[in-house]
Every structure is written in structure tokens, then in C-alpha cells.
Chain A
């Protein structure tokens, strides 16, 4: 892919929600990775948790929850303006005392140290096109007289690798070699291939293949026609630029990962026992069921960052009604986790990852 010349970018059309451009002098793999990263790796905001208080409509709860998740929300500057739920540092337990009885629920939960709020545009998190003239709203549900729908939605930041609702792209056009000069594809036809297969608009950009032309099997695609259409949660400019930055970050992390020495064993107070196959497994740094037998040591390691209540659950009977831990990373063991990054919780109830409520 030794590029003879610099890549060329030519934007053919730029609208509020789409950009059409031609990419030249790059390798197919670069163009394709660029496409993939724009579709699946750019963070946006979408409704992820729905607590249904009452629903007497004809649509079931999960149906509505799913529909709500699909609604595009304005996510401009989402990279900096919000954290992933898993990165939120609710790392302390909170004592609920009689003094709290007067208070309403502690809302928001935004970290004191975060400056994310200041980076948000005014309409951040609002449905795209809300109160904009000429943009029809998204229909979620129809209700008749006497029916009721009351719910609470929690929107979270995420990427489309987790769920497609977080993709900023509605459609992505990607074409190269419109005349099929490179024969990367084989067209099925009845009598006349040229009559039966209409050429795309992009075919005007390249000379047609002459009948007497010799097939150059070494030729490589060089010109890529891309059309990025967003759902409005991000602008097309942001999608393109963030996509390229994401690719850079991926590559930089790989370089960094190769340079980094192996994590030193001294740091750990807990070392996983060697695996039967002889390879030394990385020390288990997760609170997971495999460590149950060595929970004391594990806790020692863990307690530097987390104050959890599940030691009690392992060592003895649970206290105070199943020990609700604020932001506990407790795994498997269950327990109510409020906004916890818990991997695989049990039967939790509350607002955490595994809480009751519909994951959309």
C-alpha cells in the first residue's frame, strides 16, 4: 500500500445530516476500516433503561422500551460531554440514616470532579428535531381514551458494537470500481450484462472498460465513493472526524500495548493460581465466582478502590436486607446495585445495570 501520492478527499455534497465524498489514493483496507469505525465505534447517547410505572396501552412494556431506545438523541460532543456508565466513579457506599428521610432521591449522580456538563450543548440528550419546524416527531405509541403510559427513561452513552441504536449512522454508502474493472464481483445476467445492470452515478467519475482492454489482475482499487448519512444524533462532520480519530486511537493503543512491559507482580496482593495447562493466567482482578475460595485476599486487593458489601455475604449472612451497595462491583452474588458497573449481577433491583426494568 506504499502510497505514491497523498490521499485526496473531495466532498461532493454536505448537508446537515449527510456528507458525500470521494476518497482517493488510499488502500481498500483503509477505506473499509474507516467505514466500519464510523458505523460501530463512535459514542452517542440513547435510552438504555426504561422503568415503566404504568402502562395500560395496547403495546407491551418491552415493545415500548425498544421503541424508545431507537429514538435518536442529540449527542454532539458526546466523547467529552458524558462518561460511560461503567466509568462513573460511584465508588463509595453511602450510609442511609434517619437524617435522609426528608430528602427526595439524589438525582443526577454526576461526579463532582467531572467537567462533562460544561461541554454539553443546550439540547444535549434531547430527541433529534424536537421543536424544530418541518421535522415530524417519532411516533412511539398510540393510546386511546382512558389508557395510561407513565415511564422513566435513562439514557446512557454507548457505541454501536454494543447495540445498533448507538450508531450515529443511518446509512452508509460505500462503492468502488463502478465499472467492475477489477472484477471483484461477478454479475449474474441472462443475455446482456451491460443492458441488465445499470451503472451507478459514480460510474461517471471513471472511464468505462473498453471491450479490447486486457484484464490487469494486479490493479488495485484507488477511488472510493462514500456517503455518510447520520440519524441526526451527530453531525456528519463530527462522525467523519471522530471516526478517523478513533482509528488513530486504536492504532496508538496497539503501539502502546507492545511497548508496555508486562504488569509487575509486586503490585498485586492477589495472584491467581497457575492454570493446569502450565501457562500462568493473569491475576484475577475481577470479583467473580472463581475467586470465591480466596475472597479474603481478593477483597484486600479490591478494597483499595471499592467498598463493597459482599464480603459479608460470603463470610456470613447478609446484613440489612440483602446489602444494597452503591456502585458495588459485586458480581454474581446479587444484591441491589445502584448505578453499578457490576458484571453479571444476580437478582438485583434498583437502577443499576442489572436492575429490574427493561434493557432496551
Chain B
């Protein structure tokens, strides 16, 4: 009865800040960024993109507890760029990748549609199940 609504795991609360930047006081050019209401889907994606960038000295992410819907991403750069700036760059690059992928998919789908790839038997199951049902049989009879 008193369970919190399940959507609290992925919906930001009213005026809740989606990102929180915690500057590292002991390591130069480093920051820990807390991203709320997100999980491995975004965490691992961003971490991998960051690691591929030459300015990065360290990038890692963790989801501290599976019941708490946020992840932390730790970034250290070589000083030519701030951690937040490079995170933004990484996200922009990833969006670019997604957009190209989306366009490629759309193109492929339209080609397949034109080629009449969706056949007469679209589910690929044959009409066997349906005919059995029409005759008043059920699972027990099989």
C-alpha cells in the first residue's frame, strides 16, 4: 500500500535536477558527475565514448546501488578541457552516431518495404494455429 510509485525509478521528480557535478578537490581536472534516473544504458555508453577520446585520462561509471536510480561517472582529463565540457562533447558525438544509425535504418526499411519483403504469411507461423481454433479444439486436445 505504501510502496512508492514504480515510475519514480525513471521519471525525474518535479524540478529535480537531472545532473549534478561534484568537482574533485584532490585530483586536478577531475569531476564526479551524478546522473539521476538513468542506468547502465546511458552510463556504459558514455563511459565507452569518453575512453575513446584522446583528452581523457580516466573515465569510469558505477551504479552504487541497484535500488537507487542513479549512476556516477568519474572523469579526469589532461587539462586541455574541463570534465563537463568533454562529457558534453561525448554526448553530442553519440547523438551524431544515433542519428546516422537512424537514417541508415530508415533507408534500409524503405528499401525492404519496396521489395515486398513482408510476405503473405507475415508472422511466419502458417495458419495452423488458427484453423485448429476454428474447429472448436483447445489446448487439451493437442
Q: Do A17 and B123 form a contact, CB below 8 Å, given A11-B112, A258-B19, A344-B4?
A: yes
Count of interface residues, chain B, beta-carbon cutoff 8 Å: 68
Count of interface residues, chain A, beta-carbon cutoff 8 Å: 75
A257 within 8 A of B: yes
CB distance B97 to A30 under 8 Å? yes
- Distance (whole angstroms) from the CB of B2 to the closest CB of chain A: 5
Q: Do A133 and B42 form a contact, CB below 8 Å, given A6-B100, A344-B3?
A: no
CA–CA, A230 and B50, complex, Å: 33
CA–CA, A41 and B102, complex, Å: 17
Q: Do A254 and B42 form a contact, CB below 8 Å, given A14-B117, A344-B4?
A: yes
CA–CA, A148 and B14, complex, Å: 45
- Distance (whole angstroms) from the CB of B94 to the closest CB of chain A: 5
In the complex, which residue of chain A has the Cβ closest to the Cβ of B54? A2
- Point out the residues of chain A lying under 8 angstroms from B44, CB to CB: 29, 32-33
Quick check: which of A100-108, A181-189, A244-252 contacts chain B, the rest being far away?
A244-252
CB distance B9 to A162 under 8 Å? yes
CB distance A161 to B42 under 8 Å? no
- Point out the residues of chain A lying under 8 angstroms from B127, CB to CB: 133-134
A1 within 8 A of B: yes
- Point out the residues of chain A lying under 8 angstroms from B16, CB to CB: 282
- Point out the residues of chain B lying under 8 angstroms from A237, CB to CB: 109
CA–CA, A248 and B105, complex, Å: 15
The 8 Å CB contact of A137, one of B17, B49, B100, B133, is: B133
CB distance B97 to A26 under 8 Å? yes
B141 within 8 A of A: no
Q: Do A8 and B49 form a contact, CB below 8 Å, given A33-B42, A343-B4?
A: no
Residues of B3-28 whose CB lies within 8 A of A: 3-11, 13-19, 21
A262 within 8 A of B: yes
CA–CA, A139 and B109, complex, Å: 34
- Distance (whole angstroms) from the CB of A239 to the closest CB of chain B: 11
Interface centre among A247, A258, A347 (most CB of B within 10 A): A258
CA–CA, A230 and B129, complex, Å: 19
- Distance (whole angstroms) from the CB of B72 to the closest CB of chain A: 13
B63 within 8 A of A: no
- Distance (whole angstroms) from the CB of B104 to the closest CB of chain A: 4
Q: Do A136 and B132 form a contact, CB below 8 Å, given A11-B108, A16-B118, A30-B97?
A: yes
A354 within 8 A of B: yes
CB distance A163 to B105 under 8 Å? no
The 8 Å CB contact of B48, one of A23, A27, A137, A259, is: A27
Interface flags for A1-42 (1: CB within 8 Å of B; 0: not) read: 111001111110111111001010011111011101100110
B92 within 8 A of A: yes
A346 within 8 A of B: yes
CB distance A84 to B41 under 8 Å? no
A219 within 8 A of B: no
- Distance (whole angstroms) from the CB of A312 to the closest CB of chain B: 22
CB distance B95 to A27 under 8 Å? no
CB distance A353 to B5 under 8 Å? yes
- Point out the residues of chain B lying under 8 angstroms from A319, CB to CB: none
- Distance (whole angstroms) from the CB of A58 to the closest CB of chain B: 14
In the complex, which residue of chain A has the Cβ closest to the Cβ of B138? A139
Interface flags for B102-142 (1: CB within 8 Å of A; 0: not) read: 10111011001000011100111111011111000011000
CB distance B101 to A252 under 8 Å? no
CA–CA, A29 and B46, complex, Å: 8
B98 within 8 A of A: yes
CB distance A27 to B102 under 8 Å? no
Interface centre among B45, B106, B124 (most CB of A within 10 A): B45
The 8 Å CB contact of B21, one of A134, A252, A258, is: A258
- Point out the residues of chain A lying under 8 angstroms from B108, CB to CB: 9-11, 21
CA–CA, A282 and B15, complex, Å: 9
CA–CA, A286 and B5, complex, Å: 13
The 8 Å CB contact of A248, one of B14, B40, B95, B130, is: B95
CB distance A344 to B139 under 8 Å? no
CA–CA, A243 and B91, complex, Å: 17
- Distance (whole angstroms) from the CB of A92 to the closest CB of chain B: 18
Known: A139-B138, A341-B5. 6 other contacts (CB 8 A): A26-B101, A134-B131, A159-B10, A161-B10, A254-B18, A258-B19
Query: Which 6 residue pairs are nearest across A and B when measured between Cβ atoms?
Result: A16-B122, A257-B18, A29-B48, A1-B52, A257-B19, A134-B130
